[in-house]
Chain A
């Protein structure tokens, strides 16, 4: 039979933690409203690795 460890939270959240969590969750909900389906986390390293140097284009 499988057994699972009890949850790993330190304690039930206090007032300040609840406010912080709610603020952060609200920010994500607002910001993510128009995320396109194809946007996914691995795109981040692609952005960094594929940045074209714009200096020549600007010149």
Chain B
């Protein structure tokens, strides 16, 4: 299981070299054997997954193939509504999160032939970047147990890194796809705001939420995005723009692309290993023909302030019921972050929304007049120890959360596509990552740069040593 990617497995299934049932059984066996330590799943649907796999196998026997996802086992963050399975949103109260409709992205993957293995662990209510969870267990980093998997899509990244699923869906409001992808050494893509429907996904902050893939390779992320992207009548914010065949554009040479390394903010106060790995990645892209230039970007701090106001106000509105009725069941740091939103004024919230437009316009106009994409780190340090991030007062924990997501949060406020790609390891074996950011709806260029870098290095061939 650990050697397949969606691309190679899809090809092997189509060529009848392996069967959907065989692959699904192998994933389920691996989950049963190893996930008690990793804690990446909240719900495993072994029966449902095997039933689907048998149906898909029968289709293949009848000469029918649904394409590259036919028979490929995937899993979904436990805030995506999946037909027949509970949704906990990482809390102890799944009864609060029922829905009439299945998540559109899950439904599109199901129609494309994917097998649903189950629902993945996450930070409670998606409010936190470390992946600790008092109700369902702290997700362990498969590379270094005792360290964070990143959050909030902690289970999504850990399950892919551990070889339990070939790919996963996560959501990203301030970095929640990219941070766990970076911590766990897998690929994670936050698409442009509006590129992927959020219908059927429990919101945290509807102005900042994005749904996207976590996979082993950039090519797999491109394939998965191609299925889930596109307009959805059930999500008014989803764009009507056409969806390119991202996977067909991956091998276009990066020669001639202008790629900016920010001279301000993004490299301030970084861990030395992270700094060195990202700059080394830039040199590799330069060697492939990209032009690396130093750029001064508009100060991201105002857009982070504005995003914080929007996120706090909207999350308090979304989760008012659980906060009112069962606050004692929420983890203290989660409760503290929700609480702030109840005391912000409508005036501040509305001004924040107006300001966001201004910053997005200025950033896009200034930066992308100069370069085609930006390179930046994702995490300011390799995955920290779980004990360290949970220690201290609630104030200290909340401060730590803000610092850890400071490099990803600006791109939620700006709505730009941002990809996390593995770019090495610290001396003690913790994954490092590179962030590639593009102009609105230019996921193709972001994926192309990530793919070129990935193919020029061997990071993705490494696997965590699980017992």
How far apart sit A21 and B313, CA to CA, in the bound complex (Å)?
A: 11
Asked whether A41 and B395 contact (CB < 8 A) given A8-B342, A48-B194, A55-B372, the answer is no
CB-defined interface of B84-122 with A at 8 Å, one 1/0 digit per residue? 000000000000000000000000000000000000000
For the residues of B in contact with A, the DSSP-based class is: helix
List 5 additional A-B contacts (Cβ < 8 Å) besides A10-B323, A45-B193.
A25-B345, A28-B309, A35-B354, A44-B356, A45-B194
Q: CB-nearest residue of chain B relative to A6? A: B324
Asked whether A48 and B440 contact (CB < 8 A) given A24-B312, A24-B340, the answer is yes
B320: contacting residue among A8, A14, A28, A47, CB under 8 A: A8
Which residues of B, 317-373, contact A by the 8 Å Cβ criterion? 320, 323-324, 327, 335-336, 338-340, 342-345, 348, 350-358, 360-361, 364, 368-370, 372
Which residue numbers of B lie inside 8 Å of A, CB to CB? 192-194, 207, 237, 239, 241, 258, 302, 305-306, 308-309, 312, 320, 323-324, 327, 335-336, 338-340, 342-345, 348, 350-358, 360-361, 364, 368-370, 372, 394-395, 398, 415, 439-442
A41: contacting residue among B305, B340, B343, B354, CB under 8 A: B354
Q: Judging by beta carbons under 8 Å apart, are A51 and B357 in contact?
A: no
Q: Judging by beta carbons under 8 Å apart, are B342 and A41 in contact?
A: no
Q: CB-nearest residue of chain B relative to A18? A: B343
How far apart sit A58 and B342, CA to CA, in the bound complex (Å)?
A: 47
Q: Judging by beta carbons under 8 Å apart, are B394 and A53 in contact?
A: no
Which residues of A, 8-42, contact B by the 8 Å Cβ criterion? 8-11, 13-14, 16-18, 20-21, 24-25, 27-28, 31-32, 35, 39-42
Which residue numbers of A lie inside 8 Å of B, CB to CB? 8-11, 13-14, 16-18, 20-21, 24-25, 27-28, 31-32, 35, 39-49, 51, 53-55, 57-58
A53 CB to nearest chain B CB (Å): 7
Q: Judging by beta carbons under 8 Å apart, are A24 and B348 in contact?
A: yes
A48 CB to nearest chain B CB (Å): 4
Among A14, A17, A47, A54, max chain B CB count under 10 A is at A47
Q: Which residues of B contact A11 (CB under 8 A)?
A: 327, 339
7 contacts between A and B (CB under 8 A): A11-B327, A40-B357, A41-B357, A43-B357, A49-B441, A51-B439, A53-B439
Q: Which are the 9 A-B pairs with shortest beta-carbon distances?
A: A41-B353, A43-B357, A48-B440, A27-B305, A32-B351, A44-B357, A9-B342, A8-B320, A51-B440
